[in-house]
Amino acid sequence: MEPARACRRNRMKGGRVTATGRIEIDFERCKACELCVPACPKECIGMGDAINRQGYGAAVFERPDDCTGCAICAETCPDACILVWR
């Protein structure tokens, strides 16, 4: 059996699927609206303590190992501060 086909079968049979995504949050553009935090189904985003030049405590990517690259956070961000890599 081909490796790709075996991998698809494992996913369909309940095999563990590893995280495949990564996000980048533009620290200086973030206005700390916090909309991305509850939008992330894997709870990968939190609010940081550091203050950006605008005076906001920007969002941070806290759990990169759990990110699936679903892009819900990027779609939710009103200022387009989040880039998603898959």
Q: What is the maximal distance between C-alpha atoms in the chain?
A: 56
Each domain of the chain, given as residue ranges in start order, spans: 19-85
In this predicted structure, the answer to whether residue 51 has a pLDDT above a threshold of 90 is yes
pLDDT of residue 4: 46
Query: Is residue 32 pLDDT above 90, yes or no?
Result: yes
Q: Taking 90 as the threshold, does the pLDDT of residue 23 lie above it?
A: yes
pLDDT for the residue 18 = 64
Q: How far apart are CA 60 and CA 3, in angstroms?
A: 35
- Is the pLDDT at 3 greater than 90? The verdict is no
- Collapsing DSSP to helix, strand or coil, 84 comes out as strand
Q: Return the CATH number of the domain spanning residue range 19-85.
A: 3.30.70.20
For residue 20, name the pLDDT band (cuts at 50, 70, 90).
confident
Q: Which amino acid is at 82?
A: I
Stretch 72-79: mean pLDDT: 98
Per-residue pLDDT band for 5 (boundaries 50, 70, 90) equals: very low
